């Protein structure tokens, strides 16, 4: 068993050393990098409560046919956001699910011990990439109003400067006023900009009832090019096939064709398990290693 473990570690070390391309790391912010959700207007305790509720599954109503996380049950059953926030907070101390209160305390302790509100696992990933000379770009992606605050934290901690842009009607509008519409030009700009923060357009996705085709645009290159440039997307709302509701819309950088996201699940699209991203400092490092093991 010990020899097998050493073999796995050695294999990851070889894979890491062998990769000479550039990773384009698209990161959602809410519940991917931070615990609060500006789009939902949640404070820290409300954010933690929703994270805990996602971890606890069960039958919560007499007419419920299959187990759901308490978070999904509340979201699907109660349209009022303020009521949902109250229910999630009450869930933690209600005794409806064992260990919910303990999980809440554990997460809160971990978060309040961090130097910033950005998860330690994100900074550990950055350190890992730098130590292993893996080239990367960071692209922040959000529907929420937390972009400016997150830029400020990362600019200070990483000592970098972020370019900013926003998507509108499928066009990338740069802070300079330049408008990029051609998919290949957008892909090139994102690949050539080391630190980029993008405000994504929420309204079309909401109007489309969260259908993937109206989600955050994610520009992909051909398979044979991915040893040179490999785009990845991390978001807590990414879903596996056959889900039609998804927050990311893959799009080919040359043809502009929209591609169903299920084909890229756990390959270039990663559903972030927020609880694990908080308690496990190696969470994002392990995802990067997983990606490199496929190349």
- Could you report the per-residue pLDDT of 133-146, keeping only the tens digit for each? 999 999 999 999 99
**pLDDT of residue 19 exceeding 90:** no
Residue found by looking up tokens 């990311």 in the block? 248
Query: What residues contact residue 84 under an 8 Å CB cut-off, 6+ apart?
Result: 74, 75, 78
Summarize the confidence of residues 270-282 as an average pLDDT: 98
Summarize the confidence of residues 84-101 as an average pLDDT: 94
Q: What is the pLDDT of residue 227?
A: 83
- Alpha helix locations (H) across 132-281? 147-158, 183-192, 202-207, 274-279
Summarize the confidence of residues 261-279 as an average pLDDT: 97
Summarize the confidence of residues 38-51 as an average pLDDT: 83
Q: What is the pLDDT of residue 4?
A: 45
Cis, peptide link before residue 242, omega less than 30° from 0: yes
Q: How far apart are the C-alpha atoms of 34 and 223, rounded to whole Å?
A: 32
Summarize the confidence of residues 14-22 as an average pLDDT: 68
Residue range 192-220, pLDDT digits in tens: 999 999 999 999 999 999 999 999 999 99
Q: What is the pLDDT of residue 43?
A: 87
Query: What residues contact residue 201 under an 8 Å CB cut-off, 6+ apart?
Result: 143, 166, 167, 168, 169
**pLDDT of residue 1 exceeding 70:** no
Q: How far apart are the C-alpha atoms of 264 and 219, rounded to whole Å?
A: 12
State the average pLDDT for the chain. Answer: 92
Mean pLDDT is lowest, of 17-21, 29-33, 88-92, for 17-21
**pLDDT of residue 11 exceeding 70:** no
Summarize the confidence of residues 259-288 as an average pLDDT: 97
Residue range 102-119, pLDDT digits in tens: 999 999 999 999 999 999
Q: How far apart are the C-alpha atoms of 171 and 192, rounded to whole Å?
A: 17
Summarize the confidence of residues 223-231 as an average pLDDT: 87
Residue range 164-190, pLDDT digits in tens: 999 999 999 999 999 999 999 999 999
What b/e string do you get for 230-266 counting C-beta neighbours within 10 Å, with b at 16 or more? bbbbbbbbbbeeeeeebbbbbbbbeeeebbebbebbe
Question: Which of these, 167, 164, 219, lies nearest to 197 by C-alpha position?
Answer: 164
Q: What is the pLDDT of residue 294?
A: 83
Q: What is the pLDDT of residue 70?
A: 97
């Amino acid at each position: 068993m010990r020899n097998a473990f050493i073999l796995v570690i050695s294999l990851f070390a070889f894979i890491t050393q062998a990769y000479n391309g550039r990773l384009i790391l698209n990161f959602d912010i809410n519940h991917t990098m931070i615990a609060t959700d500006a789009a939902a207007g949640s404070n820290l305790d409300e954010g933690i409560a929703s994270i805990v509720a996602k971890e606890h599954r069960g039958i919560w109503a007499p007419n419920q046919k299959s187990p759901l996380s308490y978070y999904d049950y509340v979201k699907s059953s109660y349209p009022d956001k303020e009521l949902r926030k109250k229910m999630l907070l009450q869930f933690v101390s209600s005794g409806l699910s064992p260990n919910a209160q303990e999980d809440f305390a554990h997460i809160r302790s971990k978060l309040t011990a961090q130097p910033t509100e950005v998860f330690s696992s994100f900074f550990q990933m950055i350190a890992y990439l730098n130590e292993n000379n893996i080239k990367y770009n960071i692209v922040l992606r959000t529907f929420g109003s937390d972009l400016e605050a997150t830029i400020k934290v990362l600019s200070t901690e990483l000592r970098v400067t972020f370019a900013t842009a926003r998507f509108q009607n499928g066009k990338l509008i740069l802070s300079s006023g330049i408008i990029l519409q051609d998919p290949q030009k957008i892909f090139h700009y994102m690949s050539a900009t080391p630190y980029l923060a993008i405000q994504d357009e929420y309204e079309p996705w909401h109007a489309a009832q969260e259908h993937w085709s109206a989600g955050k645009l994610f520009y992909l290159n051909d398979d044979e090019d991915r040893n040179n440039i490999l785009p990845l997307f991390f978001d807590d709302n990414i879903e596996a096939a056959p889900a039609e509701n998804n927050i990311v819309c893959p799009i080919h950088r040359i043809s502009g064709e929209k591609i169903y996201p299920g084909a890229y699940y756990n390959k270039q699209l990663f559903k972030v398990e927020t609880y694990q991203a908080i308690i496990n400092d190696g969470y994002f490092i392990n995802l990067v290693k997983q990606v490199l093991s496929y190349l």
